Amino acid sequence: MMRRILLVVVAALALFLPSSTEAQETKPFILPFRDSPGPGTWLLGQLYGNTTGAYANRREFYTAGQGLHFGLDFSAPCGTPLVAIGDGVVLGADTSMGSAPHNLVIDHRNGYWSLYGHLLEKPTLRAGDRVKKGDVVALSGDPDETCHSRPHLHLEIRANNNERFVNPINLIEADWDTLALFGQFGRGFERDLDDPRKWQTMYDQPDGYRGGAPLINDFKNPWPPAFDFR
């Protein structure tokens, strides 16, 4: 009798467990580097979302993403090879989508585009070229074009045909908890003291919509305090 009861319990539990397919489901993209992270290769610089740095500059640099830092920044020496985060078709190099001095945009044909910004030179890829996940597609650079000022890759993932910025860490397979321990130059998220738990982890950052207004992080009681130049 006891064995029969145990079998019934196990069968009931199985109804609530994920299928083997669900358990093995992975995120669609990989990191944009072929080398492992480290002081001589690359480190995670700034997270996506309502970072303290983005908040402080929400009216100066980040209005296009509603006040959010709308990508990931990876600190890397100029000339670091960058790979396609997924299969796709190149939409263009040095497009008008931002992130000077050079950029590359790939349509992954799964509802998402990736944008690689602050590149060292204009990529040789052209619109219509097909790339495979892991193919080298560009070289990292420096937005100041000095290669010693602030060399880094700015990586965005956009959805809805370029209408929406989404959080890359929820789509890229990586050990983000470990990566976030080292190398950050934009630590932490701005806190709204009227709702202090909102947007305080790297996983729960909101989407941003292209076009700017309204700012979604225009807090009345922010912490840390930030100057407002209005």
What local confidence, expressed as pLDDT, does residue 64 receive? 87
CATH code assigned at 158: 2.70.70.10
Residue 72 within any structural domain of the chain: yes
In angstroms, the CA 26 to CA 5 distance is 35
Residue 11 within any structural domain of the chain: no
Which neighbouring-strand residues pair with 74?
Answer: 44, 153
What local confidence, expressed as pLDDT, does residue 153 receive? 98
What local confidence, expressed as pLDDT, does residue 25 receive? 63
Residue 54 within any structural domain of the chain: yes
Residue 36 within any structural domain of the chain: no
Which neighbouring-strand residues pair with 44?
Answer: 74
Ranges under pLDDT 50 in the chain? 2-24, 229-230
Residue 208 within any structural domain of the chain: no
What local confidence, expressed as pLDDT, does residue 24 receive? 46
The residue among 132, 125, 103, 126 whose CA lies nearest residue 115 is 103
The residue among 80, 72, 83, 82 whose CA lies nearest residue 39 is 80
Residue 192 within any structural domain of the chain: no
Residue 75 within any structural domain of the chain: yes
Expressed in angstroms, the distance from the first to the final Cα of the chain is 75
What local confidence, expressed as pLDDT, does residue 133 receive? 98
Residue 158 within any structural domain of the chain: yes
Range of the domain at 68: 44-186
What local confidence, expressed as pLDDT, does residue 127 receive? 97
What local confidence, expressed as pLDDT, does residue 185 receive? 76
Count how many domains the chain has. 1
What local confidence, expressed as pLDDT, does residue 8 receive? 35
